Structure 1
């Protein structure tokens, strides 16, 4: 008996781009659709926007930052679920509207929302209003992520010349990975050092500053708020390719957006390769992102000093330079299924390492988990953009974002429930011990999920 057509082994055969309706009709975008200005400026602006939008200075201390502000571990997990659910609600509508009114405007909205979310995060007062305002921050952040996800990528992809577009895009992705690694390196190092009050006080004494330093808990947030301004400037400087600048009434825009959503849904659910690609991405991304979310808690568990967190985050970022070359070489040598099996091996090895919780030496898990995420992002973006028609590209990419955040939300809810059940069963355990016990669920979840996809 042959393998079922919806198995991952069917995806192994899918190394060739699908034929969309426009491709079957021989449709090609004319050279006049893309102005030289769009082609020359959108790509570097897209890279700059991505770097500024995603290099958050508070990432290396994210978990302990919320706890130091006065939240409980469950509240922190709930905030992450709210963030993911917000993205789910806005992801596809924002992508569909971007395909109709233009991707540039959606990127501008995303950048403006980033300024708003970081302002709330930076100035929310500690006390009874802290948790409600942080909920607002997570909602604004989720909306910003939803608006940017798909729209910026579709705008950049359609700004490339038609000839050799797929291969050119792989080059853009490799360049983006390197710049993102550099930006992430700076953000991780500076953010962790800014969070460490002892380091700031020592630096202040070294330069001769005699004033009081005060709390440095939110200093990484202030730095991120500062970088949100140039991100907005990059978004405003982008240009929409002329073919995307259609004028429609509000009713026509809504009708076109709904048509794009239906067309993208048919495309995603009917093509087995796209379906399996997104299922694998959901599994891989959700569990690695959960580790990244609680990374500072894990480092505290294995007795790593907090000032080292930034250096570990910086090392994680530098792995992107290695991952960029690995992804392109793997793409040229292996089928999609073979490449994903290798990424799965990286992730499973890292998740097993988390369970060991080896003091100090347990930091080695950063290597396999750090390599897996950029390689995964490279393949998902490369295949989806190559297989998708331009008319629904932002909408399909929004389905990708929705799928990834559905996985993250599900894992986040499950992890929060697991932590609560462990605390209820063993109320005498410390927060660190509860967290350590909860980590055992991650490799088990991954193994079961991967087995289900592979078969």
Structure 2
């Protein structure tokens, strides 16, 4: 039996600390209790996205030249501070400050964690196992979020603010985990790279048709699944789900995503690269369209189907990017992907909130589904037309 690759345990802990989210099952209710409308909620999340957009590329550059370990540690510290601010805040302006700090903190973690995992595997000549371990770590995050759904729901029976108090301690777990990470030997040379060298490699990498498409499809899918997550609680409300059951359903949704994420590498091997990409685009689009047509208790089954596909998509699409990326700029390229996700969400989030408040939840879901289908199909066309395997990559 193969041993765990170096850094894997710490990356599991960082993922769990990030996704054991006691807040998410009741966050919309918390915002509403503090006087926010759905439009304000989406604006708040757009502020978070803008904070990430502003620091995503700098954080990716720092991860490539300063080291993933240090940027992950800084991200863990900022994440803990951001949740701490929520604990003592009760208005939109204070929430916005917290979201800015959380957005900056998240940008220092996103990309760096996956880059460090891939390079840790590469150091042991095991990079072909990336989808497996990315899937398992993603799955651990989904399972953590699922369990947090139950725990957060129970804590919310005391008050909707109580989960935030406990979340501070959960977020702090990532700090020692990041501290004990180790940079793989073969990428320590990248610390000597200058900003111009890094940007030059990024430009050349992004000019590849396949790489550009890999980032685009991953970005559109990430933005779509992020948007969908913010529609789940309003969907529960419209479908007549009792608030006491929110946490249980949230748990089951994330468990379904976790299970499928764990076996995503087997699904990708079975279907093949092209069919897997097509499967992801079609079924995520259907998830939006079908839930827009069926807002009811029976329609919750559609939510589960969406989360299953979401579980498959994350590790598969990240691997698609990693296959074309040089180790010297891996964190930066993955940050480009996260940057695009947040730009897309920041652009459409407030508009979808407006559609929900002014027209209906069904309208917002249908519009999102159509937009994603068009963007997704345009993004995967180069892969459908090209050979399934990427060309040899220098230094990757």
Q: Does 1:113 align with 2:95?
A: no
After superposition, the Cα gap between the structure-2 partners of 1:277 and 1:244, relative to the gap in structure 1 and judged at 3 Å, is closer
Query: What are the ranges of 5 or more consecutive residues in structure 1 without an aligned counterpart?
Result: 1-38, 201-215, 424-433
After superposition, the Cα gap between the structure-2 partners of 1:99 and 1:353, relative to the gap in structure 1 and judged at 3 Å, is same
The alignment of Structure 1 onto Structure 2 pairs a total of residues equal to: 379
Query: Which of 325, 328, 333 pairs up with 2:270?
Result: 333
Note the alpha carbon deviations across 1:3-23, whole angstroms, 9 max, x for none: xxxxxxxxxxxxxxxxxxxxx
Aligned to 1:238: 181
Aligned to 2:203: 265
Aligned to 2:228: 291
Query: Which of 351, 354, 366 pairs up with 2:303?
Result: 366
> 1:63·1:294 contact (CA, 8 Å) conserved in 2?
no
Distance (whole Å) between structure 1 residues aligned to residue 376 and residue 69 of structure 2:
37
Distance (whole Å) between structure 1 residues aligned to residue 226 and residue 334 of structure 2:
19
> 1:62·1:293 contact (CA, 8 Å) conserved in 2?
no
Query: Which of 55, 59, 66 pairs up with 1:90?
Result: 55
Query: Which of 30, 39, 48 pairs up with 1:65?
Result: 30
Deviation at 1:100, TM superposition (A): 0.7
After superposition, the Cα gap between the structure-2 partners of 1:64 and 1:357, relative to the gap in structure 1 and judged at 3 Å, is farther
Write the mapping of 1:375-414 to structure 2, written as runs, cut at 5 A: 375-414=312-351
Deviation at 1:451, TM superposition (A): 4.4
Write the mapping of 1:99-110 to structure 2, written as runs, cut at 5 A: 99-110=64-75
Secondary structure of the residue that 2:295 maps to in structure 1?
coil
Deviation at 1:385, TM superposition (A): 2.1
Q: Does 1:219 align with 2:219?
A: no
> 2:80·2:168 contact (CA, 8 Å) conserved in 1?
yes
Secondary structure of the residue that 1:439 maps to in structure 2?
helix
Deviation at 1:163, TM superposition (A): 5.2
> 2:136·2:262 contact (CA, 8 Å) conserved in 1?
no
Deviation at 1:153, TM superposition (A): 2.0
Query: Which of 172, 185, 191 pairs up with 2:146?
Result: 185
Distance (whole Å) between structure 1 residues aligned to residue 71 and residue 35 of structure 2:
35
> 2:73·2:174 contact (CA, 8 Å) conserved in 1?
no
Aligned to 2:353: 416
> 1:51·1:179 contact (CA, 8 Å) conserved in 2?
yes
Note the alpha carbon deviations across 1:357-388, whole angstroms, 9 max, x for none: 43221211222210122211111222222321
Deviation at 1:317, TM superposition (A): 1.6
Aligned to 2:93: 132
Distance (whole Å) between structure 2 residues aligned to residue 141 and residue 294 of structure 1:
21
Aligned to 2:117: 156
Note the alpha carbon deviations across 1:123-167, whole angstroms, 9 max, x for none: 11x3xxx21111111101110111001112222322225454222
Structure 1 runs (4+) deviating above 4 angstroms are 242-248
Aligned to 1:36: none
After superposition, the Cα gap between the structure-2 partners of 1:232 and 1:154, relative to the gap in structure 1 and judged at 3 Å, is same
Distance (whole Å) between structure 2 residues aligned to residue 372 and residue 114 of structure 1:
28
Distance (whole Å) between structure 1 residues aligned to residue 292 and residue 315 of structure 2:
28
> 1:316·1:370 contact (CA, 8 Å) conserved in 2?
yes
Bigger-Rg structure (1/2)? 1
Query: Which of 350, 357, 361 pairs up with 1:435?
Result: 361
User: Larger deviation: 299-308 or 280-289?
Assistant: 280-289
After superposition, the Cα gap between the structure-2 partners of 1:245 and 1:300, relative to the gap in structure 1 and judged at 3 Å, is same
Secondary structure of the residue that 1:57 maps to in structure 2?
coil
Distance (whole Å) between structure 1 residues aligned to residue 268 and residue 305 of structure 2:
18
After superposition, the Cα gap between the structure-2 partners of 1:449 and 1:154, relative to the gap in structure 1 and judged at 3 Å, is closer
Deviation at 1:95, TM superposition (A): 0.7
After superposition, the Cα gap between the structure-2 partners of 1:50 and 1:375, relative to the gap in structure 1 and judged at 3 Å, is same
Secondary structure of the residue that 1:159 maps to in structure 2?
helix
After superposition, the Cα gap between the structure-2 partners of 1:374 and 1:261, relative to the gap in structure 1 and judged at 3 Å, is farther
